[in-house]
């Protein structure tokens, strides 16, 4: 269930998220309300419709394409589980749950796994507020695991807090290593370029084309989580470092943005951002806005940016092009990372920027 100016498109994206997380989408139910119901987010009539669909498909999971409160999740699970013959309870997940699950599946590096675990624990801590009545039992205890009469919910919250503290300390150590590496690249005087963009816009394919690397590429959401940096020689006097970063998405959970800040600092400290856009997507303008919102949140909105319209091979009458403003500064570039069309123009533009110490950079709109 979703809302917004493009509910059909949001529903399609939500379905892809659910499939990427490993579940089958049996039915998409759309709804629109001026204000979410404080108890169940959806109104009583829509909840009844969802319950009927659950029974018809014998489903055991319901996903809302919105962020739900702990109380709303509990109330929905109770309402949707009523009258089930087998007695099995329905599990309700929100958009944040699904994105966190995908990130947990995709994380490969040690740092990436720490970041995802931190985000999941911080999200879980928001769910330990009032709604979980099954945790409101007294716990009498000796030793370090809780004082006499400490409620289980308080113990759980304290254990999560201790684990979060340890994770943040380990991430701080990883961040110091990353900062040292970044400082070395800064001292080298080489132009630092970072790829950013909406998930599945083709960043990793473009990265592989420009660096001749073999970064993981797949037609799926969040295929890349770990930042990869390569040095790229573009000709005499023109060398850059190019970093491939995690993809963004609308309503990216704040806990993930916070947890991945150390990784995303590659974008903050870059000399130039290549904002890769799927030119074939009907929602490409909204996707551009979503990426820029995250860049602003992490403090990278001041970095010069070129918009790179990718996948032009899928757009009729769109040809490779390097568009400049009247002063000659580059605004956007049209390419196809899949076919290679326009990549030579992008390489030449990057070489020009590297040779002129970034003088050709401009902030693209």
CB 70 within 8 A of CB 132: yes
Distance from C-alpha of 231 to C-alpha of 233, rounded to nearest angstrom: 7
Q: Which CATH number fits domain 7-100: 1.10.150.530, 3.60.15.10, 3.20.20.370, 3.40.50.11060?
A: 3.40.50.11060
Structure token pair of residue 108: 């490969």
Indicate the length of the chain as a whole number. 365
Q: Could you tell me whether strands 228-233 and 239-244 are parallel, antiparallel, or unpaired per DSSP bridges?
A: antiparallel
Q: What is the DSSP letter of 228?
A: E
Strand partners, 334: 309, 321
DSSP-assigned letters across all residues of 79-110? HHHTT-TT-PPPEEEEHHHHHHHHHHHH--SH
What residue segments make up the domains of the chain, in order of their start?
A: 7-100, 107-137+148-187, 189-355
What CATH class does 189-355 carry?
alpha beta
Kindly give the confidence (pLDDT) of every residue in the chain, 365 residues in length, as a single tens digit, with 9 standing for 90 and above: 443 334 447 888 889 889 988 889 999 998 888 889 999 999 899 999 999 999 899 898 999 998 898 889 999 999 998 877 666 788 999 998 888 888 888 777 777 788 888 888 888 877 765 444 444 444 444 344 444 444 666 777 778 888 888 888 887 887 777 666 656 555 567 899 999 999 889 998 999 899 886 544 444 555 555 677 889 999 888 899 998 887 888 877 777 777 666 667 778 889 999 999 999 999 999 999 999 998 998 888 889 999 999 999 999 999 999 999 898 889 899 999 999 999 999 999 999 999 886 666 655 54
Q: How far is CA 242 from the centre of its chain?
A: 20
Q: With beta carbons less than 8 A apart as the criterion, state whether 274 and 334 touch.
A: no
Same fold, 7-100 and 189-355: yes
Using a 10 angstrom Cβ sphere, with 0-12 exposed, 13-18 middle and 19 or more buried, the burial of residue 317 is exposed
Neighbours of 178 (CB within 10 A): 18
Task: Please tell me the pTM assigned to this model.
Answer: 0.75
What is the maximal distance between C-alpha atoms in the chain? Answer: 75
Contact of 252 with 294, CB cutoff 8 Å: yes
Cβ atoms 330, 323 nearer than 8 A = yes
CA 205 to chain centre: 18
The answer to whether 40 and 125 are in contact (CB under 8 A) is no
For the chain, where are the E strands, in sequence order?
61-64, 91-94, 138-139, 150-151, 191-197, 228-233, 239-244, 272-278, 305-310, 321-324, 330-334
């Amino acid at each position: 269930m979703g809302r917004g100016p493009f509910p059909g498109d949001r529903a399609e994206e939500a379905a892809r998220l659910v499939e990427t997380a490993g579940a089958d989408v049996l039915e998409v139910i759309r709804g629109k309300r001026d204000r979410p119901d404080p108890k169940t987010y959806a109104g009583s009539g829509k909840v009844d419709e969802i319950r009927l669909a659950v029974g018809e498909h014998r489903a055991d999971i319901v996903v809302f394409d919105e962020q739900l409160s702990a109380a709303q999740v509990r109330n929905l699970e109770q309402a949707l589980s009523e009258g089930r013959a087998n007695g099995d309870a329905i599990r309700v997940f929100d958009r944040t749950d699904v994105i966190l699950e995908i990130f947990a599946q995709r994380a490969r590096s040690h740092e990436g796994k720490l970041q995802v675990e931190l985000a999941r624990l911080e999200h879980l801590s928001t769910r330990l507020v009032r709604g979980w009545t099954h945790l409101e039992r007294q716990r009498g205890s000796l030793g370090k695991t809780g004082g006499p009469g400490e409620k289980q919910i308080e113990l759980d919250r304290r254990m999560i807090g201790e684990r979060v503290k340890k994770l943040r300390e380990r991430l701080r150590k990883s961040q110091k290593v990353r900062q040292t590496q970044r400082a070395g690249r800064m001292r080298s005087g080489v132009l630092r370029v970072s790829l950013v963009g909406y998930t599945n816009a083709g960043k990793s394919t473009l990265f592989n084309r420009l660096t001749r690397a073999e970064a993981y590429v797949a037609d799926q959401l969040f295929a890349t989580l770990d930042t990869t940096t390569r040095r790229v020689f573009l000709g005499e006097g023109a060398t850059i470092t190019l970093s491939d970063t995690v993809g963004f998405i609308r309503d990216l959970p704040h806990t993930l943005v916070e947890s991945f800040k150390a990784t995303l600092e590659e974008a903050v400290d870059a000399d130039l951002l290549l904002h890769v856009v799927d030119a074939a997507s009907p929602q490409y303008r909204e996707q551009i806005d979503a990426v820029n919102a995250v860049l602003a949140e992490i403090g990278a909105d001041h970095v010069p940016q070129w918009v790179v319209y990718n996948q032009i091979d899928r757009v009729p009458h769109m040809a490779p092009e390097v568009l400049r403003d009247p002063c000659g500064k580059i605004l956007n570039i049209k390419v196809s990372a899949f076919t290679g069309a326009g990549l030579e123009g992008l390489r030449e533009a990057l070489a020009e920027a590297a040779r002129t110490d970034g003088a050709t950079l401009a902030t693209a709109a």
